[in-house]
Amino acid sequence: MPKAKETVLEINLNALEHNFYFLRSKLKKDTKFLAVVKAFAYGSDAIAVAKHLEQLQVDYFAVAYTSEGVALRDAGITTPILVLHPQKINFNSLIEHCLEPSLYNAYILRSFLETAKQHQQKNYPIHIKFNTGLNRLGFWENDVDYIIERLAPADTVRVASVFSHLAASEDPNEKEFTLNQIATFKKIAGEFSSKIEYRPLWHQLNTSGILNYAEVAQFDMVRSGIGLYGFGNDPEYSRQLKPIATLKSIISQIHHIEKGESVGYNRGYKAADFMKTATIPVGHADGIGRHFGHEKGFVTINDKKAPILGNVCMDMLMVNISEVDCREGDEVIVFGAGASAEILAENAGTISYELITGISQRVKRIFL
């Protein structure tokens, strides 16, 4: 790996490929695979990731918002793209770019049917989302007849899939709840498919669902987000996955701090004795929030941990290097291979999702 000379996010496409094949190995040969590339592919780079996964022949992509799907289409991605949380104002653009909406309540369903009619569409692919316990988005079980009634006279659309989302598939203590969600979805999807008189795809499993419930709920397709980026929500599986992103920086300056001197804004850290500190050009505007300060977070320099001191600044943070043999210009690992984002996040009371998706777009991306 090249040594960093500035703050960069290295994205390892070989690791992405490894993770894809590891997850695929848990599935039947004919089970379709939907890759979730929302939020800049979980903070990495949606276009580069999608292009690589398209070469690996994933069956679908998913994004959160229409604008994310438009960016992929503009970059030349031709694989079907599911928009998980579309808004009425974006329906014209969604259709113009051949994106497929998740329709999750009566208002969105009616609005999209009107827009599809205005665009003189026929059999436009849509996806019907059902709520089975996450209580975030989705129709209820007793909405099946309502949906069928609205779809019956409309040849403008065709249901490509019915799906739901598991709430706690990574938690063994919630196995009963998860199995109840799966049973509820089976019942809903079966009723819906029988009444619509053709068989759309069914899908419910997320990454942890693939790893923990593939034997009982693969259905026709699965969805993976965080697993593709190297995290399994379980130490056993995380060891078999490879984080694709490594956030690197360098030491800009080293200070020798006397006892009683302070470091950073609001004198957030006061030295109990003589110490050495290093200033690193990465801060909360880059995605390393203030909650990583006050020694809750750390960076790695020459294979040694250096705790973050005081308050993280907008563009910089300071670390304790009293026990680290280093000099100005040396490489700093914020997170990545050998310096897990999961551990860094846990120390600061958050989760890897928040940390990796929060990396600013001003941070230079380098592809390996």
CA-to-CA dists, residue 152 to 118, 122, 149, 159, angstroms: 18, 13, 5, 11
> What kind and span of H or E run contains 185?
helix 175-196
* CB proximity list for 346: less than 8 A, separation 6 or greater: none
Known active-site residue 269: no
* CB proximity list for 115: less than 8 A, separation 6 or greater: 88, 91, 92, 95
CA-closest candidate to residue 217, choices 227, 202, 238: 202
CA angle 131, 132, 136 (to 5 degrees): 45
Known active-site residue 38: yes
Tell me how far apart the alpha carbons of residues 234 and 220 are, in angstroms, rounded to a whole number.
25
Among 21, 107, 146, 265, which one carries the catalytic annotation?
Answer: 265
Tell me how far apart the alpha carbons of residues 272 and 113 are, in angstroms, rounded to a whole number.
67
Q: Which two tokens stand for residue 150?
A: 């609205």
Among 38, 129, 242, 248, which one carries the catalytic annotation?
Answer: 38
**CB–CB of 81/60 below 8 Å?**
yes
Q: Which two tokens stand for residue 364?
A: 């230079």
**CB–CB of 278/319 below 8 Å?**
yes
What residues act catalytically?
A: 38, 265
